[in-house]
């Protein structure tokens, strides 16, 4: 679960990429990185562990020259938290390719063996993103042309889709040629693109294109959201901002990750033509119907309290439909990271205690319905129920 972005512009992209990564920061707080390509045919790379604001200082931004680049924020669900696994990742052949990846490959171990046997390519980290990069590079190398065009890039993407299994939404910069992006045939992870027209400095107009994990980032940077990249589809944007799209995989069942609409994505994003905000509202309405169907109006709930942050949108229509009060019962420390990826149960429990604190007067003597967006390990759930009881709740429903 990460955030990716790629921009082809008529002006320097360093600040644009930085702003886009800030808009995608919720998708990954472990590391951040960006790479640009400049007119001297050189790559400029900066990446490291930490938040976007901590990784990029003014001296780094000044070195990130060029009008084309890709960026990444990481949330490690595979591999390690080492800075060596921060993205974008790079291979020098063919052409020089820098790739940012969101997802998880389920056949990574086999692919690692294949890329060595078929292309003598060494994978130096435990990251499946490096494996995906090498698979794409190997497929593009097989095309064997000096100046790759859209048809060659799409042939390489088709090869990736034939070999890779699992979830992947990737943006890859091909030195001196453009940016390619692709999404797995099942559309598990999101990817979208937008465009805008700008003056070309010669009295004409030219197109700038942005590709990102979420439409909200595209809108924030002043691009017009065009659409989602469809499952199994690829897009290639050349240095002039001209783009071509093509389906690069056989039709397959569309199975997007429900966690995006429940938890991961920003509420101002639209994914696969579905508003994240509206989806969460409807979840609350559906949950209310289930409660009323089972218990009727005599449900005994006095107040609905969300667990910050993403369950709030679901809890509001739920309370309204049940005819009870909606209240904020927990204060969240926004400087504590997400707990379900922390190593060790004791550390996760301690972090929950530091992250959330109950407002006692909202619990005392009441039957409380707590609304949580998801249960991964149950760490947050158990600790929150304990806090609610300690704060004086008569009954706690989750």
Count Cβ atoms below 10 Å from residue 75 Cβ, excluding itself.
18
Concatenated DSSP letters of 169-209: EEEEEETTTEEEEEE-TT--S--EEEEEEEE-SSSSEEEEE
Tokens 């947050």 map to which residue? 380
Question: What b/e readout covers 262-280, taking b as 16+ CB neighbours within 10 angstroms?
Answer: bbbbbbebbbeeebbbebb
Are 244 and 270 within 8 A, CB to CB?
no
Question: What b/e readout covers 47-63, taking b as 16+ CB neighbours within 10 angstroms?
Answer: bebebbeebbeeebbee
Q: Determine whether 2 is an active site residue.
A: yes
Find, among 318, 296, 66, the residue nearest to 176 by Cα.
66
The catalytic residue among 2, 164, 248, 314 is 2
C-alpha–C-alpha distance, residues 5 and 32, integer Å: 11
Are 166 and 103 within 8 A, CB to CB?
yes
Rg value, the chain, Cα: 23
Q: What are phi and psi of 301, to 5 degrees?
A: -85, 130
Are 236 and 179 within 8 A, CB to CB?
yes
C-alpha–C-alpha distance, residues 279 and 275, integer Å: 6
Catalytic positions: 2
């Amino acid at each position: 679960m990460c955030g990716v972005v790629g921009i082809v512009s008529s002006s320097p992209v360093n600040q644009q990429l930085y702003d886009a990564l800030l808009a995608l920061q919720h998708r990954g707080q472990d590391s951040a990185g960006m790479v640009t390509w400049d007119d001297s045919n050189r790559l400029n790379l900066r990446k490291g562990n930490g938040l976007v604001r901590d990784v990029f200082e003014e001296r780094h931004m000044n070195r990130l020259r060029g009008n084309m680049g890709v960026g990444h924020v990481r949330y490690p669900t595979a591999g390690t938290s080492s800075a060596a696994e921060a993205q974008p990742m790079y291979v020098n052949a063919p052409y020089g390719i820098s790739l940012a990846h969101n997802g998880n490959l389920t056949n990574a171990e086999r692919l690692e063996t294949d890329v060595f046997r078929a292309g003598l390519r060494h994978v130096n980290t435990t990251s499946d993103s490096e494996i995906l990069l090498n698979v794409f590079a190997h497929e593009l190398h097989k095309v064997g042309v000096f100046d790759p065009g859209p048809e060659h890039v799409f042939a390489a993407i088709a090869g990736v889709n034939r070999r890779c299994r699992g979830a992947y939404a990737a943006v890859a910069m091909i030195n001196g040629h453009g940016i390619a992006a692709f999404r797995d045939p099942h559309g598990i992870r999101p990817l979208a693109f937008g465009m805008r027209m700008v003056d070309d400095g010669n009295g004409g107009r030219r197109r700038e294109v942005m590709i990102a994990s979420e439409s909200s980032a595209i809108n924030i940077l002043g691009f017009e959201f065009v659409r989602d990249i469809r499952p199994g589809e690829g897009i290639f944007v050349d240095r002039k901002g001209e783009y071509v799209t093509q389906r690069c995989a056989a039709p397959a069942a569309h199975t997007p990750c429900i966690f995006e609409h429940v938890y991961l994505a920003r509420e101002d994003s639209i994914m696969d033509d579905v508003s994240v905000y509206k989806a969460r509202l409807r979840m609350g309405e559906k949950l209310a119907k289930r409660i009323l169907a089972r218990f009727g109006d005599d449900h005994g709930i006095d107040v609905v309290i969300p667990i910050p942050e993403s369950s709030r949108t679901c809890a509001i229509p739920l309370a309204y439909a049940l005819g009870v009060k909606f209240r904020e019962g927990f204060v969240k420390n926004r400087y504590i990271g997400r707990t379900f990826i922390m190593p060790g149960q004791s550390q996760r429990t301690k972090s929950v205690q530091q992250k959330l604190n109950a407002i006692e007067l909202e619990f005392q003597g009441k039957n409380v319905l707590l609304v949580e967006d998801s249960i991964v390990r149950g760490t947050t759930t158990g600790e929150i129920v304990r806090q609610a009881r300690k704060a004086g709740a008569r009954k706690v429903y989750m």
